[in-house]
């Protein structure tokens, strides 16, 4: 039977995509002719003061027109006496005679005006604004789309004519500072295709805010003369190391130490004196909870609340610096112990806090409400706030992490509630396996009201043509449905929403992925390649298919192996029934205990409780504050061998959202954690007073003399107790003959 439904949908999709393309108007009295029948009918005049800064952008404009029409548009700095259309960029002599008021426009904003029958003018308050005006001209009037980095990602339609309707355009960004992170996106060097692509999508970091106190107060400079500016580390008074991660991961300054505030003002003033072009400085805390300051009050993350302490210092410093350098901004991180807004101080309006959170967690309504509340509370005390988002996918996740409708929703909420800067950890890989994700995200940062479905449909059609586009759309729609409908039901997600970012190091999200899903994705992308028509469309389709091959390589045989190992027989290697003569706080000799709260020790080896016989390990979670705690054991394992770990547990008086988990991590002979090998984890929601089983299967990664660190974890509770018993280690005989 023929599938007329699919064919009908394809036709409708094609018609929609054709109408979504930018229409090229016919020439009339209200139009400006840029190119006609492949011949140039215009010239470009660039303001003398901007020609150097914008040379590559003007070149992009002329090259785009030439690639589209074959016409070469001349460029100069002086207007010629001609009837042809002149495109003035910046304040040329002619543009200075106009009265286009852009004084209230943001410095990244621009206007495209039509003051005379043969004059088009692009104006802005900065070269950045002029640059974005040029990009808008290229996209709007030539029809170019920069789909992804590199020449292959550039879509340029073939046009014989370019006519422009007389319709003034004034735009400015919704989010003033817009930045995606990765080493490539930060490096300024020639032939940096990713950075150049992001610039064309109007990425522009305008506020510095990241971890920086370790750089402002290097211990090598200050410790000997001011040891009281630095906290004890692991209970010892030692000089921290200089440098970024090593130093910044171990200490925060003592903000109220004698002389510290005065020195802070001095070095920040000196920074602005040495860097007069900088509009901001980062006073962001280091990447650690080590503040050296006690607080009995806990914040929304369950950490000692030190917001008044830190933001009090920041406000005093900013106020004094602004006396000499007005209008400068002070970016910082609302992170760890300073995540919540201060309650007892009036914060200086030039301090811009960036609120850190992986907002894919908004797929949980209660979590969304909490982060919304934190945002609105911050907007009451800060004149401007930023969001720090974690949107990465293919570098840290094995599969594309797509949730763009949610992203549009939360960006719209953020803008409506005072968020004006956005920084997102993205780390895209060269394979670009997440398609239009970052393209759409950057478009939304400029205009969160964007019609994302129309934008996505246009992206698919520009990429692979109208015949292949429906299959590409279905492929990415599968991944969005997977993350927003399936993964949210998994304990991986329910555990992750309690964290600042979802636990990408745990591949538990893959538990919802089936082999049939992988086969379907392969089929869809093969169909895209089959239906693509032009050489460039086929090249892009092949690029997407190759990217999916890399996804399958990262997955390896994980899905197939997971399903296979779960039904195979095992040989017992070690078993713990935890039988004991008397209850004791000591643990069996092979076992240890760890908690996110170092002082928490409410555990016992109990003789009374047990699953099959008396004896078990027990954690009383009262006072744990929702943090993680676990029993641990290290097991020697053999590389490439298959193992199964099982354990039974029972909870009493646990809340509904509490989780119990079984985790395996790896170390080799060098005692380093196998960071390239993701941990194997399973977490389950609990049913009180009922014995439940935990089980994981794994193949040991290829490390030198590896051992597996196995953890029995409790999390998300501050009440009740959990009992663990009958811990079993088996080697799986991965042989179909033996398992029949």
The pLDDT value given to residue 675: 45
Q: Rounded CA gap, 288 and 396, in Å?
A: 22
What's the half-sphere exposure (Cβ side, CA atoms, 13 Å) at 659?
Answer: 23
Instruction: State the CATH number of the domain containing residue 728.
Output: 2.60.120.260
The pLDDT value given to residue 187: 65
Q: Rounded CA gap, 236 and 116, in Å?
A: 74
Each residue of 231-256: pLDDT tens digit? 987 778 888 877 654 445 678 999 99
Decide if pLDDT at 19 tops 50: no
Identify the domain boundary among 172, 202, 219.
Answer: 172
CA distance between the termini of the chain: 39
Decide if pLDDT at 9 tops 70: no
The pLDDT value given to residue 97: 93
Question: Can you say whether residue 617 is alpha, beta or left, with left for phi > 0 and alpha for psi between -120 and 50 degrees?
Answer: beta
Query: How confident is residue 482, by pLDDT bands cut at 50, 70 and 90?
Result: very high
- Rounded to the nearest angstrom, the gap between the alpha carbon of residue 30 and the centroid of all alpha carbons in its chain is 45
Domain presence at residue 48: yes
Domain presence at residue 587: yes
Instruction: Find the helix or strand (DSSP H, E) in which 662 lies.
Output: strand 659-667
Residue 16 is encoded by which pair of tokens? 């929609």
The pLDDT value given to residue 570: 85
624 versus 25: which is more confidently predicted? 624
Domain presence at residue 585: yes
Each residue of 538-589: pLDDT tens digit? 999 999 999 999 999 888 777 777 777 777 888 899 999 998 766 677 888 8
Question: Among the ranges 419-428, 556-565, 638-647, which has the highest mean pLDDT value?
Answer: 419-428
Domain presence at residue 541: no
> Which region among 223-232, 268-277, 676-685 has the lowest average model confidence (pLDDT)?
676-685
> Which region among 96-100, 124-128, 422-426, 539-543 has the lowest average model confidence (pLDDT)?
96-100
Identify the domain boundary among 143, 172, 201.
Answer: 172
Q: With pLDDT > 70 as the criterion, what percentage of the chain qualifies?
A: 91
Each residue of 373-401: pLDDT tens digit? 999 999 999 999 999 999 999 889 999 99
Domain presence at residue 159: yes
Which residues span the domain enclosing 90? 11-172
Pairing of strands 629-636, 680-685: unpaired
Q: Rounded CA gap, 518 and 290, in Å?
A: 44
- For 637, other C-beta atoms within 10 Å of its C-beta total 23
Give me the mean pLDDT over the 124-128 stretch.
97
The pLDDT value given to residue 585: 73
Query: How confident is residue 739, by pLDDT bands cut at 50, 70 and 90?
Result: very low
Identify the domain boundary among 124, 149, 172.
Answer: 172
- With tokens 């392969």, the residue in question is 522
Domain presence at residue 629: yes
Residue 633's DSSP bridge partners are: 591, 710
Domain presence at residue 530: no
Decide if 503 contacts 496 (C-beta within 8 A): yes
The pLDDT value given to residue 62: 98
Average pLDDT, the chain: 89
Phi/psi of residue 148, each to 5°? -160, 170
Domain presence at residue 534: no
pTM comes to 0.85
- Rounded to the nearest angstrom, the gap between the alpha carbon of residue 252 and the centroid of all alpha carbons in its chain is 25
Each residue of 37-84: pLDDT tens digit? 999 999 999 999 999 999 999 999 999 999 999 999 999 988 777 789
Instruction: State the CATH number of the domain containing residue 100.
Output: 3.30.379.10
How many structural domains compose the chain? 2
């Amino acid at each position: 039977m023929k599938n007329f439904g699919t064919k009908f949908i394809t036709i409708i999709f094609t018609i929609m995509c054709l109408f979504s393309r930018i229409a090229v108007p016919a020439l009339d009295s209200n139009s400006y002719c840029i190119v006609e029948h492949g011949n140039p009918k215009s010239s470009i005049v660039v303001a003398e003061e901007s020609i150097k800064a914008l040379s590559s952008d003007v070149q992009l404009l002329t090259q785009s027109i030439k690639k589209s029409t074959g016409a070469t548009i001349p460029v100069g700095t002086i207007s010629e006496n001609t009837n042809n259309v002149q495109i003035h960029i910046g304040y040329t002599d002619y543009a200075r005679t106009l009265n286009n008021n852009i004084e209230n426009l943001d410095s990244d904003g621009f206007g495209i005006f039509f003051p005379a029958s043969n004059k088009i003018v692009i104006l802005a308050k900065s070269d950045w604004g002029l640059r974005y005006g040029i990009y808008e001209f290229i996209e709007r009037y030539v029809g170019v789309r920069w789909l992804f980095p590199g020449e292959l990602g550039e879509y340029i339609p073939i046009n014989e004519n370019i006519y422009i309707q007389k319709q003034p355009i004034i735009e400015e960004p919704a989010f003033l500072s817009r930045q995606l992170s990765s080493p490539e996106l930060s490096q300024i060097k020639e032939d940096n295709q990713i950075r150049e692509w992001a610039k064309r999508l109007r990425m522009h970091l305008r506020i510095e805010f990241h971890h920086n106190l370790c750089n402002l107060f290097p211990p090598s400079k200050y410790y000997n003369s001011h040891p009281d500016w630095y906290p004890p580390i692991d209970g010892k008074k030692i000089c921290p190391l200089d440098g970024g991660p090593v130093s910044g991961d171990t200490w925060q300054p003592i903000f109220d130490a004698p002389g510290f505030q005065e020195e802070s003002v001095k070095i920040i003033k000196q920074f602005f004196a040495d860097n007069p072009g900088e509009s901001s400085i980062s006073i962001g805390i280091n990447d650690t909870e080590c503040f050296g300051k006690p607080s009995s009050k806990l914040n929304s993350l369950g950490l000692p609340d030190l917001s008044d302490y830190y933001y009090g210092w920041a406000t005093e410093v900013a106020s004094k610096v602004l006396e000499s350098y007005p209008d400068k901004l002070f970016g910082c991180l609302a992170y760890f112990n300073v995540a919540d807004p201060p309650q007892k101080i009036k914060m200086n309006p030039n301090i811009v806090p960036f609120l850190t959170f992986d907002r894919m967690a908004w797929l949980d309504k209660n979590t969304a409400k909490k982060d919304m509340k934190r945002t609105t509370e911050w907007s009451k005390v800060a004149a401007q706030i930023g969001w720090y988002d974690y949107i990465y996918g293919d570098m840290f996740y094995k599969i594309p992490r797509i949730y763009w409708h949610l992203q549009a929703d939360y960006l719209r909420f953020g803008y409506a509630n005072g968020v004006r800067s956005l920084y997102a950890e993205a780390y895209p890989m060269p394979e670009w396996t997440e398609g239009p994700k970052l393209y759409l995200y950057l478009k939304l940062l400029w205009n969160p009201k964007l019609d994302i479905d129309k934008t996505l449909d246009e992206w698919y059609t520009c990429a692979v043509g109208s015949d292949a586009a429906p299959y590409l759309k279905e492929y990415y729609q599968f991944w969005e449905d997977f993350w927003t409908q399936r993964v949210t039901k998994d304990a991986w997600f329910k555990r992750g929403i309690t964290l600042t970012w979802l636990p990408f190091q745990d591949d538990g999200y893959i538990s919802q992925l089936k082999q049939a899903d992988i086969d379907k994705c392969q089929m869809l992308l093969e169909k895209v390649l089959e239906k693509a028509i032009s050489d460039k469309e086929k090249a892009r389709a092949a690029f997407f298919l190759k990217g999916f091959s890399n996804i399958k390589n990262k997955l390896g045989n994980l899905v197939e192996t997971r399903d296979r190992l779960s039904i195979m027989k095992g040989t017992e290697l070690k078993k713990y029934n935890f039988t004991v003569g008397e209850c004791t706080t000591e643990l069996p000799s092979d076992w240890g205990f760890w908690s996110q709260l170092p002082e928490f020790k409410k555990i016992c080896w109990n003789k009374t409780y047990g699953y099959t016989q008396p004896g078990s390990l027990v954690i009383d979670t009262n006072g744990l504050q929702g943090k993680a705690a676990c029993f641990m054991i290290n097991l020697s394992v053999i590389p490439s061998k298959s193992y199964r770990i099982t354990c039974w547990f029972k909870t009493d008086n646990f809340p509904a959202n509490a989780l119990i988990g079984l985790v395996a991590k790896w170390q080799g002979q060098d005692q380093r954690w196998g960071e390239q090998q993701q941990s194997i984890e399973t977490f389950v929601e609990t049913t009180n007073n009922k014995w439940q089983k935990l089980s994981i299967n794994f193949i040991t990664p290829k490390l030198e003399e590896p051992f597996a660190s196995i953890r029995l974890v409790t999390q998300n509770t501050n009440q009740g107790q959990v009992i663990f018993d009958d811990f079993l280690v088996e080697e799986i005989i991965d042989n179909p003959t033996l398992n029949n």
